[in-house]
Amino acid sequence: MMGGLCSQLAALLLLLVLPSPAHGAEESQDQPVFSRIIGGQDAQEGIWPWQVSVQKYDKREYYHICGGSLISAQWVVSAAHCFHPSTPVSAYRMNLGEHQLSNPSPTRISSPVRRIVRHPDYNPSTVIADIALVQLTEPVAFTDTIRPVSLPGPSTQSPAGEKCWVTGWGRIGWGCGDVLPPPRTLQQLQASLVDASTCETLLGSCKLWNQPTMLCARAQDARSGPCKGDSGGPLVCPKGNSFILTGIVSWGINCTGSTPRPGVYTWVSVYAEWIQEVTGSAGPLAFSPAVLLLAGLLLPAL
């Protein structure tokens, strides 16, 4: 992927489009590649109510390409590499309240997109500022299965060793070779944050690592982690009785390597002020470290 930037990388940005039944293994030729959660487990319906399926229209149907997170009634945050600048905004839609992609919930909301704002510093060659904001055409009403995630502030700390969760519908097999089978249930995986120096060591000769803007996390089984189709999805960490959107699935080294590597995430707190500037508001669910989850929401064991 991406020429000689990282000779070790057979697959970089976790974007690679999951094949739809009619498409076979169709991939973008212009964007880096990422995948699904390897080693994850089925999530319970509604437990991650901010999870979004970013979908793209092609060949008479929409199909899942990336994850995203609902952050307010009209805004979703995802990875910049999920959206090609030559693709019209009308080709995308955001599916909210999804649980099983092959068995759509009757309460899900499928929203058209008004605009997509990629961070002005985003560079597809270095993967810096791999973050984009997606405005829905209309605000959505919150439900038990559709609810925004809390955002960090600019000074929110992300200590090494903190146990967080990554979710998505990406590929699942070792080597990123297996598509999530029907009914394509949302996957969840616990992963611990890794300190910058350890991450740099583990990534070896890969020069895409940028400590000030990126986070590393890895599961207890180092071979588990995000894969193709998980790009743009959330890495959330518990804060009191809430979860904070700490990272956005961005890129990783080929998971078939002999030495498993951590996944790399866009560090959301670095872009907190930009998010507030673009969305134009910081309501009670934004930049708040203590927003309670829905009453009765069953949290996964930490």
Who's near 158: CB < 8 A, 6+ residues apart?
152, 193, 215, 237, 246, 247, 267, 269
The residues carrying an active-site annotation are: 81, 130, 231
Q: What is the DSSP string of the chain?
A: --TTS-TT-SS-STT-PPPPTTT-S---SSS---EEEET-EEPPTTSSTTEEEEEEEETTEEEEEEEEEE-SSSEEEE-GGGS-TTS-GGGEEEEES-SBTTS--TT-EEEEEEEEEE-TT-BTTTTBT--EEEEESSPPPP-SS--PPB---TT----TT-EEEEEE----STTS--PPPTT-BPEEEEEEEE-HHHHHHHHTT-TT--TTTEEEEE-SSTT-EEEBB-TT-EEEEEETTEEEEEEEEEE---TTSSS---EEEEEGGGGHHHHHHHH----TTSS-TTPPPPTTPPPPP-
Provide the sign of the torsion angle of the four alpha carbons 255, 56, 273, 289, taken in this order: negative
- Of 154, 147, 189, 144, nearest to 171 by C-alpha is 189
| 227 touches 10 (CB < 8 A) | no
Q: In one letter, which amino acid is 274?
A: W
